[in-house]
Amino acid sequence: MIISVLSWVWISSGILLMLLVLLHSPKGDGMGGLAASGSSMFTSASSAEAALNRVTWTCLIVFLSLAVILSARWLG
């Protein structure tokens, strides 16, 4: 019973993690940014971006922890 619940939480956290990663804004200009002069590569993150980063890292920790627990079969 507990393994099936944790499996659903693991699947849900994986889907949520994919959506959260897709919500992040691109950080750079790619290869075209190397030739551009005068543009700043490092900008400060807004509070929304910081909150999104925090939620993404939390979801990643939950996903990886459950992956280890479920694959090691520590619960049964």
Per-residue pLDDT of the chain (76 residues; tens, 9 = 90+): 999 999 999 999 999 999 999 998 887 666 665 565 555 555 566 888 899 999 999 999 999 999 999 999 888 7
User: What pTM was estimated for this model as a whole?
Assistant: 0.74
* Contact in structure between 69 and 9 (CB atoms under 8 Å): no
* Contact in structure between 25 and 49 (CB atoms under 8 Å): yes
Which pLDDT value is given to residue 67?
97
